[in-house]
A and B are shown apart, each in its own frame.
Chain A
Amino acid sequence: MTTASPLASLAGVTKIYGDGDTQVTALADADLSIYPGEILLIEGPSGSGKTTLISILGLLMRPTRGDVFIRGERVSALRERDLPPIRAGAFGFVFQGFNLFPALTAQENVAIAIKMKQPRARNADAEARRLLAAVGLANRMHHKPADLSGGQKQRVAIARALAGDPAIIVGDEPTAALDTKTALDVMALLRSLASEHGRAVVVVTHDPRLERFADRVARVEDGRVIAVDTIAHPHAA
Chain B
Amino acid sequence: MAWTDEELVARTVAGDADSFNQLVKRWERPIFALAYRIIGRHEDARDVCQETFLRAFRALPGFKGQAKFSSWLYRITLNLCRDWIRRRKRTPVVAAPEGIDIIELAAEQGPVESIEELVARRRLSEAVADAMQRLPEEQRTAIILKEYHGLTFQEIADLQACPLSTVKTRLYQGLSVLRRDLEALGKTPRPRAERAS
Q: Do A and B bind each other?
A: no
